[in-house]
Structure 1
Amino acid sequence: MSKVAVTGAGGFIGAYLTRQLLAEGHEVTAIDNYLRGRASRLDDVEGPLRRVDCDVRDRDALVEAFRGHDAVFHLAAINGTENFYTRPALVLDVGVRGAIAVCEACIDAGVQDLVVASSAEVYQTPAIVPTPETIDMIIPNSLNPRYSYGGSKLISELIAFNYCRDKLAKVQVFRPHNIYGPDMGWKHVIPQLIDKVRDACDRGDRGITLQGSGTETRAFCYVDDAVSGILRMWQAGDTMNVYHIGSMEEVAIRDLAQRVAGALGADITLLDGPAAEGGTPRRCPDIAKMRALGYLPQVDLDEGVRRTAEWYCANLRPEDVNELL
């Protein structure tokens, strides 16, 4: 068993990853300043957990936090599509300066393994779908703030591989594709659809306004499967490599909305709405590299949506949650 650190441990994927690492017997240092994540996500965890409250851009604090650790999982970021448009400078600052600080701290602290979370956003509109890890990464328009996130992740990959290639035993990047599940926050498509369906039911009408026409497709991956893939990659994958974490169960957003409504027992009417500038019409990863490592998602979309909707119905609505971002 190893001693590992997780940056962004109070975030959605970070908290699930932290829990699973503890369940597998690792000692975990959870690093977050809770600007985006929530400390309460780790309140009831069991096992050897140490919390460090610091900004991921604080190199000196990270060096102290990383000393004696075997591996670092770097997940800290400002995510959520709404934030890409409204806070692009913060998205870039945390993404780029955080990556540099983490890499330098790993080197100075003697960490052996670094696993970095990237994003499917590095492709923007992929030329091949399902998309392999080898296609070009593209930022099509530097004037569009949406690309602050994808741009920061692309740069983070360059930083990880080029700062650490000769300094660490293993350097890996995973590109997650539409990870979802209970307690993922409210600024993502599935929780937003859940809230829209509940609002329609409360109003007594059936109208749900989509972003655009809803013909855009995505391949959603349940969070337990995503965490299983991240750990499989770390344990069995190669250094200086990129791996897709996701599912190949592609679905149109219109169909997804109907599945959400079905999970809530609602009958809805879908209405077209304004499309966000810079959206991607189709996204689905090719996960052949991960399958070669023995990875195979276990939770299908209907079951995952059911579990997620059940959690959101039992918990607070967005206006009752203090989400800073």
Structure 2
Amino acid sequence: MNKSTKIYIAGHRGMVGSAVWRALEREGHTNLIGKTSKELDLRDQNKVLDFIEHERPEIIIDAAAKVGGILANNDNPYPFLMENLQIQNNLIDAAHKLDVSKFIFLGSSCIYPKYAAQPLKEEYLLTDSLEPTNQWYAIAKIAGVKACEAIRKQYDKDFVSLMPTNLYGPNDNFDLQSSHVLPAMIRKFHEAKENNHAPVMLWGSGTPMREFLHVDDLAEAVLFAVESNLPEHLYNVGMGTDITIKMLAETIQKTVGHQGEIHWDSTKPDGTPRKLMDSSKLEQLGWKYKIDLEEGILRTYGWYLKN
């Protein structure tokens, strides 16, 4: 493909979108466009349609979403469902109506059933019930996957969905009310270290297993999808290994240099017991992660300290 192909990255300021932008630039792509949420409200169907019609990108990467951890999802079910549906539907429909040649939809591993067999395969989608705390977000993302699949099936267009595992890295959200587990732990351990190595209180039992992927590795998967014609509509993107939340906490504690105690609040929810993804479909085509978890946490803590 041509390096001057016009590519629109929705959500280019977020953790995922900014990583995708960096990866494309590094590969020599020169015609990238992005709009902040103030410049373009992706929830407004007419504005999205006008923007795509005016700009005429050849590729759209949808990295825009309303996201958050267990607490944010549980407390705000309606916006997590409705705003995500609005954002993706407007982008997918405009891309279809205006004949955008490639659309890459980014979702999340939470689309899979709560008690699905591990590791999670793409075909497990819609085979059982979801994790209740983030079902609203999951249902929106499932609708996006199905919309891309339907367009691919009916119109033979190159619309593909990538489902990453838990992501972390530069430009992550470190707000304790709305962040995911890894950045929240980095902040908690750092602030406790600054406070004379005070004890750190963490949610749940520490027993759930989680898989984590550095956002730059996801960006490489998006780049791979941009430059390839992938034969199927849905691909998992992960490392293929997971650790307990307790082990994650100990790894972050060591990286940060916190020497106090860790306390677990077992009255708080654990979420899904395990979420390990089978990413072999994408790996067989030629993509594989490069950044291991310890190295990734070290880089992310370095970014946090600078920012």
Structure 1 length-normalised TM: 0.84
Aligned to 2:169: 181
Match of 1:248 in 2: 240
Instruction: State the distance in 2 between where 1:271 and 1:200 align.
Output: 12
CA shift, 1:54, in A, is 0.9
Which of 184, 201, 209 aligns to 2:201? It is 209
Residue in 1 aligned with 2:67? Answer: 79
Hey, what does 2:41 align to over in structure 1?
A: 55
| Partner SS for 1:185 | coil
How big is each residue's C-alpha offset from its partner over 1:112-154, in whole Å with a ceiling of 9 and x where there is no partner?
Answer: 1111111111114242212111113367379x45311111111
- 3-state SS of paired residue (2:235): strand
Distance 1:241 1:185, change over 3 A: same
% identity of equivalent residues: 24
1:1-150 equivalences under 5 Å are 1=2, 2-26=5-29, 27-33=31-37, 53-67=39-53, 68-81=56-69, 82-137=71-126, 140=129, 144=132, 146-150=134-138
Unaligned runs of 5+ in 1: 35-52, 316-325
Question: What amino acid does structure 1 have at the position aligned with 2:250?
Answer: Q
> 2:147: which partner in 1?
159
SS of the aligned residue for 1:229 comes to helix
- Structure 1 or 2: larger helix share? 2
Deviations 1:179-233 (A, max 9, x none): 1112211112122111211232233244222211111111111111111012213
Contact 1:99 1:159 in 2 (8 A): no
- How far, CA to CA, are the matches of 1:16 and 1:300 in structure 2? 17
Q: How many residues align?
A: 296
Query: In 1, distance between residues paired with 2:223 and 2:76?
Result: 31
Matching of residue 225 in structure 1 with residue 213 in structure 2: no
Distance 1:57 1:165, change over 3 A: farther
Which residue identity does 1:66 align to in structure 2? I
In structure 2, runs of 5+ residues without a counterpart are none
**Structure 1 position 87, deviation (Å):** 2.0
Residues 310 and 249 from structure 1, CA distance in 2 versus in 1: closer, same or farther, beyond 3 angstroms? same
Distance 2:195 2:224 in 1: 45
Where 1:32 maps in the other structure, the secondary structure is coil
Sort the Cα spacing of 1:275 and 1:135 in 2 relative to 1 into closer, same or farther, 3 A. farther
Secondary structure of the structure 2 residue equivalent to 1:285: coil
Name the Cα RMSD after superposition: 2.1
Cα distance in 2, alignment partners of residues 13 and 275 from structure 1: 32
- For residue 191 of structure 1, give the secondary structure of its aligned residue in structure 2: helix
SS in 2 for 1:105: helix
What is the DSSP-based 3-state SS (H/G/I as helix, E as strand, rest coil) of the residue aligned with 2:203? coil
| Aligned match for 2:265, one of 273, 283, 287 | 273
State the one-letter code of the partner of 2:287. Y
**Contact in 1 for aligned 2:108/2:164 (Cα 8 Å):** yes
In structure 1, give the amino acid aligned to 2:275.
R
Contact 1:16 1:227 (C-alpha < 8 Å) held by counterparts: yes
Alpha-carbon deviation of 1:275? 5.2
